[in-house]
Structure formats: structure tokens, C-alpha cells
Amino acid sequence: MRRIPWGLLILVAAFCVPALGSRFYTFLANDVVIWALFATSLNLLVGYTGLVSFGHAAYFGIGAYTTGILMKKLGLSFLVAFPAAGLVAGLFAVFFGFFCVRLTRIYFAMLTLAFAQIVWAICFKWNEVTGGEQGMPEIPYPSFDWVEKASGWLPFLGGYRTSDYFYFLCIVLVAVALWVLRRIVGSPFGRMLTTIRENPERAEFIGVNVRRYELAAFVLAGAFAGLAGGLFGIFNRGVFPDFAYWTKSSEVLIMTLLGGMGTFVGPSVGAVVLILLNQQIVSYTQYWPLVLGSILVLLLFVFPGGLAGAVQDLWRWTQRRRARA
């Protein structure tokens, strides 16, 4: 059987969303795209290395503030501000991670949470730099003048809103980032991470320096979360302290679990489902957290591998049936 290029199909479909003409759909799609990257970056830790972080929003927030400060206060180009988001978040992850990987399991999780709360508190209080409680509204969009010019001889590029152009940019950047992450988890390095997840003691005895690998995974996850945060600040038209708050950390963790941490696409599936579900349910009831909680309970007991895991199991089951028939 030929392999279906799912990634490419989804990419093309994503590009078509603004053509539907609904500003709202594009908004939702953009939200999903950014969260997909955020959740996938967390999955590098949770799903591949077996480290549960309760403070992943810290790096998302740091990335968002980095981009926000560079673009709004210093007037720098997106071309500088976007990579800087990943870089700065990664540097913070080096520092925090250095301490976190010295602890295991629940202690690791609590320390990641503690650092995230410190980051949140700094964002909340350091008025001169972060805008404090009020946050930093009106982050400018990257300049899309060049697209306007190019649309002179590439007419299909013309006629979109700036937010649509930003959405296209997000798709491209997130696609590249996800591709890089995909390569990382499929690399020898990624295999070493899975040995740590499976059995850290044994991993030590095949020569894996567990702490160093864990730190590397932590930094990579932090950097990619930072990139997602950088995009989100612009998308959100502002950066606020709650980007780094623990509820954001739990939201992204739930997304990862819902989609399934056992697979690479799981967290992205989780992002799609959770955001669409939220959208639908909030219009009926204000008890979204109640619904979310029920979904989680169902998930943990019925589909411990998440939605993507359940689909995978179903697929394998049908394959086996076909093989037997």
C-alpha cells in the first residue's frame, strides 16, 4: 500500500482555511496551529523522555515576552524576535532544567511548577519590562509589505487580511518546527530518550548519561515552547502574565494526554480537539471545566493512550482482522 502523505494534506488544508472567508475559522485554526507546536514540544518531555513537567508554560511565556519586548519596545523585526523567543526560552530551560533533572518523578514535576510560578511572578510584577499585571498589549504584526509587493506578480497571494498573512506564516513556521521535532524523535538521540523513559537505571548501564540527556530534552522542549509562545503573543495581539501561569501548563498537559503522548501527532490532535470542543461547549454552558474533567476521567480509563493511541489501536485491530480473513 502506498503511504498517504498526511502531513502534506493537512498542510494544504490548513492553507485553505482563510479562503473560506470566515475570520473566526482562521482565528481558531491559528490558535490550534500554535498550540499544536506547544503541546508537541511538551510531548518531547512527557511522551519521549518520561518526564512530566507541570511548568511548561514558563517557556511559552518567556518566548511570548521575548518576542513582545523585542518587537514592541525595541522595534526589532520578527526575523530577529522569533528565533530569539526560542533562544531565550532555551537559555532559561538550561538554567531551570539544570536543577530539575537532579530530581525524579513527582519532585521533578513540582520543581518545574515552582520555577514556572517564579517566572509568572516576575512577569506579573516587573512593570518596567513586562508591563506587569496589565501585560503588553498591541504587539505589532510582522511586516507583510513584501507579500503585498509580491502579489503584483503572484496574484493568489493578494487580497487577504494581515491576520490571514500571519496565519500563513504560522503554518509555515510551525510545520518546519514540527518537522524538526519529528526528526529529533526519530534520531539516535530520540531513541536514547525513549530508553530513559522506559528504564533510566538500565539506560545508565548502556552508557547513557541520563541527566545530561534529560537536560538536553528539557532545553529543546523549552526552546520549541518558546517559539510557540513567540507566535502566540503576536496572534493574541498582546502578551500577559497568565501565559506563564500554571493553568496554561495544565492546559497543555491535558492536550498532550488527550491527544495521546504515545504518538508524535497525538498532542496536535489534542490541540485540535480541545480547542474546538472548548469553542462548542462554551457556547452552551459555562461549565467548561466540568466537561473537561469528565472527558479526562473517561480518557484515563477508556483510552489511556489518548485519542491518537485509540485510533492506532483500532487501525491495528482492523489490520489483524483483515490478515486473518
Partner 1 sequence: MLEVRDVAKSFDGFQAVGGVSLTVAAGSISAIIGPNGAGKTTLFNLITGHLRPDTGRVVFKGQDITGIAPHDLCRLGMGRSFQRTNIFPRLTVFQNVQAAYVSHRGRGWSLFERVERLYADETDAILGAVGLLDRAGEESGFLSHGGQKQLELGIALALEPEILLLDEPTAGMSAGETRESIALIERLARERRLTLLFTEHDMEVVFSISQRITVLHQGRVIADGAPDEVRRDPEVRRVYLGEKRA
**Beta-bridge partners for 1:** none
**Residue nearer to partner 1 on the CB measure, 75 or 207:** 207
Backbone region of residue 5 per phi and psi (left: phi > 0; alpha: psi in -120 to 50; beta: other values): beta
Closest CB 84 distance from partner 1, rounded Å: 21
Q: Is 199 helix (H, G, I), strand (E, B) or coil?
A: coil
Q: List binders of partner 1 among 182-221 (CB under 8 A).
A: 183-184, 186-192, 194-195, 198-199, 201-210, 213, 216
How many residues can be counted in the chain?
325
Query: Is-contact 32 174, C-beta < 8 A?
Result: no
Other beta carbons less than 10 A from residue 10's beta carbon: 15
Closest CB 305 distance from partner 1, rounded Å: 11
Q: Is 320 in the site for partner 1 (CB under 8 A)?
A: no
Burial class (CB in 10 A: 0-12, 13-18, 19+), 247: exposed
Query: Is-contact 297 289, C-beta < 8 A?
Result: no
**Residue nearer to partner 1 on the CB measure, 26 or 263:** 263
Q: Is 141 in the site for partner 1 (CB under 8 A)?
A: no
Closest CB 190 distance from partner 1, rounded Å: 7
Q: List binders of partner 1 among 110-139 (CB under 8 A).
A: none
In Å, the largest CA–CA distance within the chain is 70
Closest CB 262 distance from partner 1, rounded Å: 9
- List residues near partner 1 by CB under 8 A: 183-184, 186-192, 194-195, 198-199, 201-210, 213, 216
